[in-house]
Amino acid sequence: MQILQKKEAVKTGWNLTKKHLGFAIVVYAVYLGITIGLSALQITVERFMGKGLFYFNTTVIEYLAAVLLMMGTYKIFLDLYDGKKAELSTLFTTYEKYFDFLVCYILVLLIVLAGLILLIVPGIIWAIKYQFALYLVIDRKMKPIEAIKMSGKMTQGHKVNLFLFWWVLFGVCMLGFICCCVGIIPAVIVMIFAMIHIYRKLLQDFEVGQKPEGKDNTKSIIQTVSQLFLETPFFDNWNQEAVF
């Protein structure tokens, strides 16, 4: 990728935010409203009933609902980026790949947490490497392991620049916060669209440059997950990253 595409991604995010700001704010407000409401319910249950079975059930429901909303949000913003018609109801109706999305989310979370335990740096590297797995489950309807592997291939040679792009997005977020906090929501929306732009470009670059592969020996999920955990960044071409 060219270094210009960092600027292009933010510019694209800004243009799409201006175009869809009203609807995007509604989506974000509904998402925040429901998640905050569920958290408040959990706190109330804990206060009046303690951490018993009902509290546990409430926590599970909150978590599962949050994953569904996250899934719907991904789908809505992907549709907006692609110029498709997006509806608010998508927040609650994108359940076709719910189980795959949930499993993928948990696996990526576990991988990153394992990396953070290993002196933090591996966790950051793996977070960068597998950050697009959830997009692939929604966008390409991939299975969790397939999506995680694909994200690793897409980000190969781009990790340093993706890490720098995180800082660019952090700067965008800070600018929104400086604007009397009013700009924080538009800034977050810009960040979402910008990251989708990078996702699309990396996926396109990978598919264009992909070569036919030989027969792939099927591995069990346990073997594959073990391999992902045992991968070490020291042998992951970290010092040979290409520049955008």
Is 122 a domain residue? yes
pLDDT exceeds 90 at position 210: no
Residue 1, SS3 per DSSP: coil
**Cα separations in angstroms, 229 against 120, 129, 135:** 14, 12, 21
| Residue 242, domain member (yes or no) | no
Q: Is residue 181 part of a domain?
A: yes
pLDDT-derived band of residue 176, with 50, 70 and 90 as boundaries? Answer: confident
Residue 112 domain flag: yes
In angstroms, the Cα distances linking 37 to 18, 45, 65, 135, 188 are 28, 12, 11, 26, 21
Which range (39-43, 52-56, 146-150, 163-167) has the least confidence? 52-56
Tell me the CA end-to-end span of the chain in Å, nearest whole number: 4
User: Could you give the number of structural domains in the chain?
Assistant: 1
Residue 73: inside a domain, yes or no? yes
pLDDT class for 231, splitting at 50, 70, 90?
low
In a domain, 69, yes or no: yes
Please report whether residue 186 resides in a domain.
yes
Q: Is the pLDDT of residue 187 over 70?
A: yes
Nearest to 18 by CA among 179, 168, 189, 177: 189
To the nearest whole percent, how much of the chain has pLDDT over 70? 83
Looking at residues 29-47, what average pLDDT do you find? 87
- pLDDT band, very low/low/confident/very high, at 182 (cuts 50, 70, 90): low
Is residue 62 pLDDT above 80, yes or no?
yes
Mean per-residue pLDDT of the chain: 83
pTM of the model: 0.79
Higher pLDDT, 222 or 91: 91
Task: Classify residue 147: in a domain, yes or no.
Answer: yes
Residues of the chain above pLDDT 90, percent: 52
Domain containing residue 186: 4-209+225-235
